[in-house]
C-alpha cells in the first residue's frame, strides 16, 4: 500500500474512533437509504435461514447430511465425480422389505411394498434435484453474488464517508477545500451505487416469488406421484389379502410328545463326565495408552471409498478429527474415516 493509502486508512480509523469513543457526529444518511439497508440485511438473514431449513426439510437426517458433505469434500479434493446421493428413508425401507426370498408367507406382499417404497425414494430424489436446481441454487446465487456485492458497496461507502468527515472536520487545519470537495464527490458516488444495488434487489420480488412457486410446484408434483404409487400399492395389498382369504386354511397338528426314559442311578454313570471347570479366559495383553485411541462400540461396515471398517471391541488409533461427526484412524495397518458415534474415546486427540 502506498504512503497516501496508509495515510487515508489512518484518517478513517481516527474518524471512526472519534465517533465510537468521543461521540463525534458523522454525516447522516437519509431515512430512505437506512430503511433500504435494513430491508437488505433482513433479506440476507432470511435467505440464509430458508436455504438451511429447506435442506433440512429435504434431507432430515443430520448424520447422513454430514456424511454426504464429507464424501463430497473428499471427492472434490481427489478430483473425482460426486458420489452417492442422500439415502432416502423410503429407499432404505424398500431395500429391507425386498430382502426376503419367498420363505415367509407375507413375502410377496412385502416385495410389492418394497418395490413401491423404492419408487417413492426415486420420486424423493427427483424432488431433491428439482428444489435444489430451481429454489436453493437461485437463493445461493442471490446470497453469494447480489447481497455480497451490496455489502461491498456499503463498506466502500462507509469508508469514503469516514474520509469525508475527517477532512471536513479539519477544514482550515491543513486540509484544503478542494480535498474536501473531492472526498464528498467520492462519498456521494459510492452512496448512489450502493443505493441503486439495494433498490434493484428489493425490486426483484417477482423473480423471488417465482422461485418460491417452483418450490411449491415441485412439492405438488412429488405428492401427486407419491399418491399414485401408494394407491397402486394399496390395490396390490388388498389383492394379496383376497388371495390369502381364498387359500385353504391349514390345521395345526401337534407332534407326539417326547418320552423321557430314565436309567437307574449309579455313580459309574458319571465317570466319563468332566465336571471340572474350563480354563478361565485370560485377558489379552494390555494395549499401550500412550497415543490417542478409541474402542469400537458397534460393528461398522464401510459403504464408501475412504471409510474404514471394524468390529465391536476393536481398539483404533486416532490420527485426526475431520469434523463433528467423523474421525480418521488406523487399525491393523489400514486407515480411513469412521463415525464418531460408533466409538468410545480412551485417549483423546490433543487439542
pLDDT at 272 over 60: no
pLDDT reported for residue 230: 97
281 — pLDDT class (breaks 50, 70, 90) = very low
**Backbone conformation region of residue 310, classed left if phi is above 0, alpha if psi is from -120 to 50, else beta:** beta
Enter the C-alpha cell of residue 123. 420420486
- 73-96 burial by CB neighbour count: b if 16+ within 10 A, else e? ebbeeeeeeeeeebbbebbebbee
> How large is the average pLDDT for residues 316-339?
91
- Position with higher pLDDT, 207 vs 4: 207
Per the prediction, the chain carries an average pLDDT of 83
Q: What is the DSSP letter of 203?
A: T
Q: What is the pLDDT of residues 30-50, one digit of tens each?
A: 999 999 999 999 999 999 999
Sign of the four-CA dihedral 211, 213, 214, 218: positive
Q: What is the pLDDT of residues 178-216, one digit of tens each?
A: 888 998 999 999 999 999 999 999 998 888 899 999 999
CA 160, CA 154: separation in Å to the nearest integer? 10
300 — pLDDT class (breaks 50, 70, 90) = very high
65 — pLDDT class (breaks 50, 70, 90) = confident
Q: What is the pLDDT of residues 79-112, one digit of tens each?
A: 666 656 788 999 989 988 888 655 566 678 888 9
> How large is the average pLDDT for residues 62-76?
73
Q: Which domains does the chain have, with CATH numbers?
A: 3-239 (1.20.1270.60), 293-347 (2.30.30.40)
- Position with higher pLDDT, 173 vs 77: 173
CA 234, CA 38: separation in Å to the nearest integer? 53
Of the listed ranges 261-265, 328-332, 336-340, the least confidently predicted one is 261-265
Share of the chain above pLDDT 90, in %: 48
Nearest to 304 by CA among 53, 72, 27, 130: 72
Nearest to 168 by CA among 184, 152, 191, 192: 184
> How large is the average pLDDT for residues 322-342?
91
Q: Is 235 exposed, middle or buried (0-12, 13-18, 19+ CB in 10 A)?
A: exposed
Amino acid at each position: 500500500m502506498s504512503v497516501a493509502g496508509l495515510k487515508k486508512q489512518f484518517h478513517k480509523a481516527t474518524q471512526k474512533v472519534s465517533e465510537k469513543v468521543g461521540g463525534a457526529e458523522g454525516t447522516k444518511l437519509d431515512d430512505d437509504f437506512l430503511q433500504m439497508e435494513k430491508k437488505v440485511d433482513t433479506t440476507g438473514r432470511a435467505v440464509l435461514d430458508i436455504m438451511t431449513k429447506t435442506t433440512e426439510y429435504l434431507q432430515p437426517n443430520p448424520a447422513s447430511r454430514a456424511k454426504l458433505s464429507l464424501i463430497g469434500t473428499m471427492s472434490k479434493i481427489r478430483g473425482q465425480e460426486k458420489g452417492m446421493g442422500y439415502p432416502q428413508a423410503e429407499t432404505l425401507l424398500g431395500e429391507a422389505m425386498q430382502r426376503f426370498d419367498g420363505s415367509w408367507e407375507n413375502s410377496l406382499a412385502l416385495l410389492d411394498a418394497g418395490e413401491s417404497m423404492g419408487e417413492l425414494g426415486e420420486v424423493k430424489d427427483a424432488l431433491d434435484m428439482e428444489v435444489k436446481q430451481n429454489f436453493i441454487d437461485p437463493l445461493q446465487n442471490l446470497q453469494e453474488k447480489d447481497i455480497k456485492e451490496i455489502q461491498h458497496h456499503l463498506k466502500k461507502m462507509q469508508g469514503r464517508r469516514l474520509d469525508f468527515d475527517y477532512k471536513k472536520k479539519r477544514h482550515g487545519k491543513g486540509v484544503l477545500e478542494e480535498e474536501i470537495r473531492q472526498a464528498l464527490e467520492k462519498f456521494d458516488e459510492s452512496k448512489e451505487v450502493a443505493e441503486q444495488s439495494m433498490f434493484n434487489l428489493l425490486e426483484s420480488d417477482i423473480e423471488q416469488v417465482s422461485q418460491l412457486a417452483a418450490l411449491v410446484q415441485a412439492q405438488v408434483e412429488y405428492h401427486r406421484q407419491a399418491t399414485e404409487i401408494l394407491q397402486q400399492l394399496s390395490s396390490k395389498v388388498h389383492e394379496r389379502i383376497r388371495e390369502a382369504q381364498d387359500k385353504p386354511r391349514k390345521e395345526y397338528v401337534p407332534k407326539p410328545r417326547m418320552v423321557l426314559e430314565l436309567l437307574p442311578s449309579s455313580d459309574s454313570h458319571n465317570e466319563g463326565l468332566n465336571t471340572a471347570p474350563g480354563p478361565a479366559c485370560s485377558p489379552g495383553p494390555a494395549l499401550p495408552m500412550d497415543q490417542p485411541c478409541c474402542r469400537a462400540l458397534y460393528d461398522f461396515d464401510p459403504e464408501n471409498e475412504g471409510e474404514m471398517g471394524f468390529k465391536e471391541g476393536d481398539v483404533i488409533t486416532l490420527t485426526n478429527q475431520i469434523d463433528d461427526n467423523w474421525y480418521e484412524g488406523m487399525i491393523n495397518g489400514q486407515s480411513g474415516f469412521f463415525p464418531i458415534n460408533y466409538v468410545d474415546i480412551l485417549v483423546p486427540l490433543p487439542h
